[in-house]
Amino acid sequence: MHHKFLKEIWGDNKTTKKLHNNQVFTDWQNGRYEVYIPTRDSVEFNLEFSRIAIQVLPTLSNEEKCQEAYKLAEPIKTPHGKIESELLILIAPRQLYWGLVKGFKHRNKPGYFTAIFVNASPDIIWKRVLDHITNFFTKRLNGLFDSLGFERWIWSWMLQKESKMLYYSILEHFSFVVRQSAFTFLELYSHLRACMRKLLSEIGIQNTAKQALKPLLDLKPETLAKVFAIIRQELGVTLDSRVNSLGKEELIILGALKHG
């Protein structure tokens, strides 16, 4: 996001120079990520930011969720500005028992929310995360255009056009602060939708492959080896002569299907 549009909007050295570097911080060892997205220019605070923080955990329960959320609310590093909203995301492959609350407000202020996602599939988790973040900023865009006196459908219609001149023709009459915020939210929404399209394409490819391989699960190993040999031959793939009747690739596919 920083290189695609945030740097141009907030640090191009022409209209403004307030975003000095990429506001993303990670702690891979502890499964933690946080990003600060500029949302508004500020004379007093340099910039105002929306903070998104993600924590990956081995398991999660109702007793742990509040404690983990409050730990995640402590920044790895603070940006040069003010945090005006915060989305905390807790991720785990499984929960200790049924009935886990999926979200709650960790601060009694608008724009502060903790979302919880539990699933063993990384793709399904990421789809839900993207959906939630997109919905979060869709509400911001709706609120912004409501305050400007426009119908909500206008901004989604604008994003379908190739030229960005429509942005300027509609927003040029408003202040610099309003324009910068609007440009950020519009570009962010487009970026998130593009990420979702790529993810859905990948999920579709994986589902197609699993459906194609399901008939092979009940075959005996020697029959399966012959089937794979024919498939490879038809696809023009060269077999390694050292692979046994049931090779490493077949075992990997079977293992993925049985545990997928």
To the nearest 10°, report the CA torsion of 244, 250, 254, 256.
Answer: 130
Average the pLDDT over each of 123-137, 141-155, 186-200, 223-237 and give the range with the smallest value: 223-237
DSSP annotation of 105: -
* pLDDT for residue 76 is more than 80: yes
What is the mean pLDDT of the segment spanning 164-180?
A: 73
pLDDT, residue 166, reads 61
**Residue 247 pLDDT:** 57
Given a cut of 60, whether residue 128 has pLDDT beyond it is yes
Q: What confidence tier does 36 reach under pLDDT thresholds 50, 70, 90?
A: very high
Average pLDDT, the chain: 82
Residue 138 DSSP SS3:
helix
Beta-carbon contacts of 191 under 8 Å, excluding residues fewer than 6 positions away, are: 1, 4, 5
**Which segment, 87-91, 147-151, 177-181, is predicted with the most confidence on average?**
87-91
Average pLDDT estimate for 92-118: 85
CB atoms within 10 A of CB 184: 22
Residue whose token pair is 């050292």: 242
Distance CA 90, CA 113 (A): 11
The stretch 220-239 carries a mean pLDDT of 70
| Mean per-residue pLDDT, 105-117 | 90
Distance of CA 237 to the CA centre of its chain: 36
Neighbours of 247 (CB within 10 A): 15
Q: What is the pTM of this model?
A: 0.77
β-pairing, 103-104 vs 24-27, is: unpaired
Question: Which of residues 82 and 246 earns the better pLDDT score?
Answer: 82
Residue 216 or 165, more confident: 216
CA torsion 143-76-81-192 (nearest 10°) is: -30
The tokens of 17 are what?
């120079």
Strand order in the sheet with 112-118: 24-27, 32-42, 46-56, 82-92, 112-118, 103-104
pLDDT at 29: 92
Q: Name the pairing type of β-strands 32-42 and 24-27.
A: antiparallel
Supply the DSSP symbol for 95. Answer: B
Q: What is the DSSP letter of 3?
A: I
Find tokens 């509609």 and name the residue: 170
User: In this structure, are residues 34 and 25 in contact, taking their beta carbons and an 8 Å threshold?
Assistant: yes
What's the per-residue H, E or C state across 188-236?
Answer: HHHHHHHHHHHHHHHHHHHHHHHHHHHHHCCCCHHHHHHHHHHHHHHHC
| pLDDT exceeds 80 at position 51 | yes
For 227, the token pair is 């089937």
DSSP state of 30: G
- Contact status, residue 203 vs residue 125, Cβ threshold 8 Å: no
Is a pLDDT exceeding 60 seen at residue 236? no
Q: Which residues contact 200 (CB under 8 A, 6 or more apart)?
A: 127
